[in-house]
Structure formats: C-alpha cells, structure tokens
Chain A
Amino acid sequence: NFMLTQPHSVSESPGKTVTISCTRSSGSIASNYVEWYQQRPGSAPTTVIYEDNQRPSGVPDRFSGSIDSSSNSASLTISGLKTEDEADYYCQSYDSDNQVFGGGTKLTVL
C-alpha cells in the first residue's frame, strides 16, 4: 500500500498564488489519477480537481492541478487567492483495490 504526503499547512495573502504538494510514497504518481478536494468547516469535501487536472463545472479556473513524475508528486495551485479559499485541501489517489487520502493541508489566506 502507498501513502500520500501533504504539508500540514500553508498560508498566503489574498491575490497571491499558492501551491499544495502531494507526494506518493511508492508506485508512480502517473499510474493512477490524483483527485483534490476542498473541505470547509462543518461541511463534506467537494472536488476541486479530478483526474490530475480537470475542473468540475462551477470550480473557478483559478484552481489547477498537475503531476510531476520526477518528484513523484501532484500539485494543486490556486491563483488570485480569495479569503473564501481558506479551507482544508486533500489529495486522493488509488490502486486496484485501495483508495488513499493525503493527510490534508490547511490553507490560511491572511
């Protein structure tokens, strides 16, 4: 089984750009899609990026996803930060019979 490692927290100012990483411990990051979720306090998670870099309808194009095989990691980038982006963000991937979530990253927009 593999693990996904995220930074515990990141912070940035409104209007700036922030990137959250998600590193896979074993197996290639490119072998299975990576999904990203946003979770606000008291609410269930919602998808902001699916299949590495696809945005669901309704998610602003300020959100983007990518993978980097050289570092075996995925990244979620949020540009033009808004205070409403302050939330917890989780990456998720899978293999043939397991689903794995990263530990989550708390984004503070200050």
Chain B
Amino acid sequence: QLQLQESGPGLVKPSETLSLTCTVSGGSLSIINYYWGWIRQPPGKGLEWIGSVYYSGSTYSNPSLKSRVAISVDTSKNKFSLRLSSVTAADTAIYYCARSRNWRDFDYWGQGALVTVSS
C-alpha cells in the first residue's frame, strides 16, 4: 500500500523559507505518468494546489505562487520536497503531499503537516 508522509518544521518565521519533504513508501516515485504534488489548506478554508513534480525533475507551479515555490525530487531516496520563500501569516496552512495519476485526480495523500508562520 502506497504511503506518503510529510515532514518538516511546524513553525516558520515571517520572511523565511518554509521547507517540507514528502517521503514515499510502499511504491516507487519513479513511475511514468504519475506526478507528485503539494496542496495546502489554510485553517477553515479550501484546498489550493501549490505545484507538482515529475520523477524526471520537471516541475509545475500555481501561477499565484510561482515566484516563491521550488519543488524538487530525489528518486534515490524516494522523496520530493517543497520550498516556499518569503512566507507570511497567509501561508499558515496544513500542507499535504499527494500523488496524481496521469495529471488527473490525486489518489494518494499524506496525512498533512500543519505549518504556522509566526514570529
């Protein structure tokens, strides 16, 4: 059974960089036609796609966040990562990593990691 697990600091200071890693277990990250994404959800609000990465290293980002987002993949460790720079309180959210099939639905999700931006 495929499992995804987010990890990283739960508290980040304003103007600093948020960094999260998603570890994939129970399956390989290096599968054609599967993309690995980051989705966030501010407390009490809806889902927002942040970006996705393919095992080859190709990345795709939400235009509204593109200038601050960097997503990378490490196939040797079966992990992919998110870096979001210049964070503000508006970036406080639960951050999910997830797998999407053929750039369509997200069929496996991590449990989510709450990241709070506060001094």
Which residues in A have some Cβ–Cβ distance to B below 8 Å? 1, 33, 35, 37, 39, 44-47, 50-51, 56, 90, 92, 94, 97-104
Instruction: For the complex formed, measure the closest distance between the CB of B32 and the CB atoms of chain A, giving whole angstroms.
Output: 18
Q: Which residues of B contact A103 (CB under 8 A)?
A: 46
By a beta-carbon cutoff of 8 Å, the part of chain B in contact with chain A is: 37, 39, 46-49, 52, 60, 62-63, 96, 98, 100, 103-107, 109-112
Interfacial chain A residues near B47, Cβ < 8 Å: 37, 39, 45, 90, 92, 101, 104
Complex CA–CA separation, A105 to B98 (angstroms) = 21
A98 adjacent to B63 (CB under 8 Å):
yes
Cβ contact within 8 Å between A99 and B100: yes
- Which one of A37, A99, A102 has the greatest number of beta carbons of chain B within 10 Å? A99
Tell me whether chain B's interface is mostly helix, strand or loop, or mixed: strand
| Closest residue of B by beta carbon distance from A46 | B109
Identity of the chain A residue whose Cβ is nearest the Cβ of B48 in the assembled complex: A101
**25 examples of A-B residue contacts, CB within 8 angstroms:** A33-B104, A33-B105, A35-B104, A35-B105, A44-B109, A45-B106, A46-B109, A47-B107, A50-B104, A51-B104, A51-B105, A56-B107, A90-B46, A90-B47, A92-B47, A92-B106, A94-B104, A98-B49, A98-B63, A99-B49, A99-B60, A99-B103, A100-B49, A101-B39, A103-B46
Q: Which B residues touch A47, using CB under 8 A? A: 105-107
